[in-house]
Amino acid sequence: MRERLVAACDGASKGNPGPAGWAWVVADEAENPTRWEAGPLGKATNNVAELTALERLLTAIDPDVPLEIRMDSQYAMKAVTTWLPGWKRNGWKTSAGKPVANQDLVVRIDELLDGRKVDFRYVPAHQVDGDPLNDFADRAASQAAVVQEPAGSELGSPVPPPSPDTPSSGAPRRKAAASRPRKEGSSSRTIKAKFPGRCMCGRPYAAGEPIAKNAQGWGHPECRTADA
């Protein structure tokens, strides 16, 4: 009997908000994908897609089976591991006294995590030699966001196509270097937001505030290196 199941989940939004999708995948003992599922979300944010992917994975797996879950979303992981206890103590309010974003999904995931053994593991997204399970989930979620149709192993769907966001192993050196984690203070520029929005950390930013690009979209400059 296996001691634990290794899985990955991911979400995608083409526009943030825009056409979105979610996906999860589980592996065999050799960490080869054996079972997966993906689905559309219509128009949604990347954070909603990431949380939905986790919720669908936890729903699909027997709660008695220990899980290792690999994710590339710092926001989704911190939301259900680091920030959630404080949110509950504060009556589902942030430290600033504002309602928790995506509360319905966070509450549902909290319920699904109760009493089960889950180890979360962060893996960087879109790396040439990145985690293959996360890459599979990323590709499946991206495809679901684009075509807005369900897919999966039980539906007999083909393996999702390569993601255009991941450089190939034969990419020019300039592109491969860009895929490596940035050091703090690197050249990625900071701009002023034209419109209000919400960072990957869950906190909003206002029009005119400095924002920077990260793997999950635009957000606070200080959150950029945490997501690299």
List pLDDT tens digits, range 140-154.
999 999 999 999 999
Share of the chain above pLDDT 70, in %: 81
- Name residues whose C-beta falls within 8 Å of residue 142's C-beta, 6 or more positions apart in sequence: 12, 21, 160, 163, 165
pTM of this prediction? 0.73
- For 69-220, where are the alpha helices, taking DSSP H only? 74-78, 84-89, 103-113, 132-147, 173-178
Could you tell me the pLDDT band of residue 7, with boundaries at 50, 70 and 90? very high
Could you tell me the pLDDT band of residue 227, with boundaries at 50, 70 and 90? very low
pLDDT of 181 > 90? The answer is: no
Residue 165 confidence (pLDDT): 60
pLDDT in tens, 34-85: 999 999 999 999 999 999 999 999 999 999 999 999 999 999 999 999 999 9
Burial class (CB in 10 A: 0-12, 13-18, 19+), 208: exposed
What distance, in Å, lies between the first and last C-alpha atoms of the chain?
A: 36
Average pLDDT for the chain: 84
Distances (CA, A) of 22 to 25, 48, 79, 95, 151: 11, 9, 17, 29, 10
Could you tell me the pLDDT band of residue 158, with boundaries at 50, 70 and 90? very high
- Return d(Cα 114, Cα 68) in angstroms, integer: 15
pLDDT of 184 > 70? The answer is: no
pLDDT of 122 > 80? The answer is: yes
| Phi, psi (degrees; rounded to nearest 5) at 12 | -145, 145
Q: Are 161 and 140 in contact (CB under 8 A)?
A: no
Lowest mean pLDDT among 45-59, 159-173, 191-205: 159-173
pLDDT in tens, 92-105: 999 889 999 999 99
Residue 226 confidence (pLDDT): 45
Pick the residue with more confidence: 186 or 103? 103
